[in-house]
A and B are shown apart, each in its own frame.
Chain A
Amino acid sequence: MAESTAVAGDGGRPAHRDLSAVPLAPPSANNGLLAVFQRRYLLRLLVRREINARYQGSFLGFLWSYINPLAQFFVYWAVIGGILGLHDNVPNFAVHMFAGLVIVHFFTETFAAGTRSIVRNKSIVVKMPLPREMFPVATMLVSLWHTVPQMIVLTIACLLYGWTPDPVGMLAILIAVVMIMTIGTSVALVFSVANVFFRDFGNVVQVLLLFVRFGVPMIYPYTMVEDRFGELARFYLLNPLADAVLLFQRAFWVGTTEDPEYTAAHHIPDNILLIGCAAAGVGIVMLVIAQIIFSKLENKIPERL
């Protein structure tokens, strides 16, 4: 199914052409993720279809992509901010939380929907030859697409608080997004194929996502972790999702506080950009490992679906 062989003349059938120059090749030859990006037209169609189909049959449709994080936001805002009193301890706690929520939601959507992606597309997967990495990648791109309006809401909220964008912040956003794209795709790849073998993995993801939501400095500030654990807080930063959240807070929340320099020095780890770059590097390594695992297991997908 290599597209390179698709040299079609106007209406002419290529069968007339001399094929002796075309090499014999295995029909299932695909180079995994590379093949996904070689077939961008198909990827675009799948992404568009997924955007239309993710909330098919539901009345509110794509609004669920916002209701979910917004509901979470208000629960945290009321319970953590109001009852536990973090509104008083953390300046602009709502922005602090929402900045984290946007990037965490990008990850959770990629992970959860990506895990289901191959099983959901069963009818195509068992009958048509195409790189199966397409489906997790497409879900990641759909989740990225859903992040855009949330980023706009976040930006507007920040501007209302008197935030001015700064280049370091923009860099932080870029690093965080690349990080989640790579890490999210890797876990989605592995879990999507695992889910074919045992549907339990759909539930495993839900449990993991619980840890994700509480394991990042979103509903509590990083300073609390530092106060409690001191030097050991370094290990907390080994969680790439925590780094992504801190990068987003560096980009959005820091600029909204009264004294951004003090906030950055006090609340954000010093070398967060470096840590972020390292985490993005880890993401790329994870992607390679995920691809190897996926290719190993992929063979059994059609018969197990």
Chain B
Amino acid sequence: MTTSIQLTGVTKNFTLRYHRTFKEITVAMARGHKTSDTFRAVDDVSFTVEQGESIGLMGLNGSGKSTLLKMISGVMRPDAGEVLVRGRIAGLIATGAGFHPQLTGRENLILNAAILGMSERETMRKFDEIVEFAGLGKKLDTEVGHYSSGQKARLGFAVAIHVDSDIFLADEALAVGDRPFRRKCLEKMQEVRDGGRTLFYVSHSTGSVRKMCDRVVVLEEGRVGFDGDVKAGIKYLQYDDDLPTDEDEEMAADI
């Protein structure tokens, strides 16, 4: 097996600034208040992901999941430690990943594909497929600013899933899509997983994690609280109190 993602002692601090203007800072300093504070969003996280594994990253809100994902995707750099990946990354970080509201869906599609590293030829070849998957119809030629959040997510997901990647990252972006679309996405993601790509999936939904992933990492206040089997991970999070009724139903309800 080849290592796909390797994190060693990854740490990310954020500086919280209570005051932004010169006047506020002077007043705060004169009164002896703190003007800034550091906050550790991700704290000494280490784990390794093998090629072809599908990992569910879980944790409460604010536990550092998105920050960690941003460091894996390369948007952020860790303050300490090291993130290493093998191959090309694609994926979705939050809804409408970086769309320009004043451009049409079509223009955003092309731009987004280029940002994700697709060449002109690759984009042209897959264009129809992406458009078809997004299923936006005539809306494709209107400004993205007028799209609903679900429509943005559709377009973003459609582009990301069609990039030839070795690692696919998915944030909770799918939560805003409607049911038929979520089902379509999940099928596509299963295809990605079965095709041997590494899947890195951030979700709160036990149903879809159970279905998609073969390993769970739980973050707690920026630290790895649990790393291992899916069932045990969900138990660790105590998310399993809600009785799993019809699994498909549950999955469709909160992907």
Nearest B residue to A130 via CB reads B115
Interface string of A107-126 (1 = CB under 8 A from B): 00000000000000101111
Cα distance, A203 to B82, chains bound together (Å): 38
- Chain A hits for B84, CB < 8 A: 24-26
Measured in the bound complex, the distance between the Cα atoms of B15 and A56 in whole Å is 35
Enumerate chain A residues within 8 angstroms of B192, measured Cβ to Cβ: 15
Which of A26, A29, A45, A52 is close to B114, meaning CB atoms less than 8 Å apart?
A45
Task: Select A19's contact among B14, B86, B107, beta carbons within 8 Å.
Answer: B86
Do A128 and B75 contact each other (CB < 8 Å), given the known contacts A5-B88, A15-B197?
yes
Q: Does A42 contact B (CB under 8 A)?
A: yes
Residues of chain A within 8 A of B195, CB atoms compared: 13, 15-16
Q: Complex: how many Å from CA A303 to CA B42?
A: 13
Q: How far is the CA of A20 from the CA of B4 in the complex (A)?
A: 9
Interface digits, B167-201 against A, CB 8 Å rule (1 contact, 0 not)? 00000000000000000000000001001111000
Instruction: List chain B residues, Cβ under 8 A from A123.
Output: 96, 98-101
Is the pair A19, B6 in contact by a Cβ cutoff of 8 Å? no
Chain B residue numbers with a CB within 8 Å of A125 are 98
Asked if B254 is at the interface (CB within 8 A of a chain A CB), the reply is: no
The closest CB in chain B to the CB of A10 belongs to B125
Q: Which of B6, B83, B88, B120 touches A6 (beta carbons < 8 Å)?
A: B88
Q: Is the CB of A129 within 8 A of B166?
A: no
* A1 touching B74, Cβ below 8 Å: yes
Task: Tell me, rounded to whole Å, the shortest Cβ–Cβ distance linking A239 to chain B.
Answer: 30
> With a CB–CB cut-off of 8 A, which chain A residues contact B106?
none
A24, B98: Cα distance in complex, Å: 27
Selected from A6, A42, A126, the residue in CB contact (under 8 A) with B164 is A6
Chain B residues near A303 (CB, 8 Å)? 14-15, 76
- CB closest chain-A residue, reference B41: A303
Contacts of A260 in B (CB 8 A): none
Q: How far is the CA of A20 from the CA of B99 in the complex (A)?
A: 34
Q: Which residues of A contact B24 (CB under 8 A)?
A: none
Please tell me if the beta carbons of B77 and A15 are within 8 angstroms of each other in the complex: no
Q: Which residues of B contact A41 (CB under 8 A)?
A: 114, 119-120
User: What CA separation (Å) do A214 and B166 show in the bound complex?
Assistant: 55
Contact with A along B1-28 (1 / 0, CB 8 A): 0111010000000110000000000000
Q: Which residues of A contact B101 (CB under 8 A)?
A: 123
User: Is B150 an interface position by the 8 A CB rule?
Assistant: no
A28 and B4 contact, Cβ closer than 8 Å, known pairs A42-B115, A49-B103, A303-B14:
no
C-beta contact mask, B225-243 vs A, less than 8 Å → 1, else 0? 0000000000000000000
Query: A residues 15-60 with Cβ under 8 Å of B?
Result: 15-16, 18-20, 22-29, 39, 41-42, 45-46, 49, 52-53, 56-57
Q: Evaluate whether A53 and B164 lie within 8 angstroms (CB atoms) in the complex, with A8-B122, A20-B2, A28-B75 already known.
A: no
B135 interfacial by beta-carbon distance below 8 Å: no
Task: Indicate if the CB atoms of A24 and B6 lie closer than 8 Å.
Answer: yes
In the complex, which residues of chain B have a beta carbon less than 8 angstroms from the beta carbon of A3?
117, 119
Chain A residues whose C-beta falls within 8 Å of the C-beta of B73 in the assembled complex:
27, 129
Contact of B115 among A15, A22, A29, A124 (CB under 8 A): A124
Chain B nearest Cβ from A5, distance in angstroms:
5
Taken together as a complex, chains A and B put the C-alpha atoms of A245 and B75 apart, in Å, by 40
A128 touches B116 (CB 8 A): yes
The answer to whether A14 and B166 touch (CB under 8 A), given A6-B119, A124-B98, A127-B93, is yes
Query: Judging by beta carbons under 8 Å apart, are A1 and B88 in contact?
Result: yes
Do A27 and B94 touch (CB < 8 A)? no
Contact B114 A1 (CB under 8 A): no
Residues from chain A with Cβ under 8 Å of B99 in the complex: 123
In the bound assembly, the distance between CA atoms of A121 and B85 in angstroms comes to 26
CB-CB nearest in chain B for A27:
B74
Cβ-closest chain A residue relative to B191? A13
| Set of chain B residues within 8 Å of A130, measured between Cβ atoms | 115
Closest CB of chain A to B252's CB: distance in Å? 26
Q: Which residues of A contact B83 (CB under 8 A)?
A: 26-28
A61 close to chain B: CB less than 8 A = no
A130–B165 Cα distance when bound, in Å, is 16
Instruction: Compute how far the CA of A128 lies from the CA of B73 in the bound complex, rounded to whole angstroms.
Output: 8
Known: A1-B88, A13-B164, A123-B100. A299 touches B77 (CB 8 A): yes
Using A6-B164, A8-B122, A127-B97 as known contacts, say yes or no to A22 and B74 having CB atoms under 8 A apart: no
Q: Give Cα A29–Cα B198 distance, bound, in whole angstroms.
A: 20
Q: Are A49 and B107 in contact (CB under 8 A)?
A: yes
Contact between B196 and A124 (Cβ–Cβ < 8 Å)?
no
A82: Cβ under 8 A from any B Cβ: no
7 closest A-B pairs by CB: A27-B74, A129-B74, A15-B197, A28-B74, A124-B98, A24-B84, A8-B164
List, sorted by A's number, 12 A–B pairs whose CB atoms are closer than 8 Å. Answer: A1-B117, A3-B117, A5-B88, A6-B117, A15-B195, A26-B74, A27-B73, A42-B115, A127-B93, A127-B94, A129-B73, A299-B79
Given contacts A15-B166, A129-B75, A299-B77, 5 further A-B contacts (CB under 8 A): A5-B87, A22-B86, A24-B6, A24-B84, A26-B82
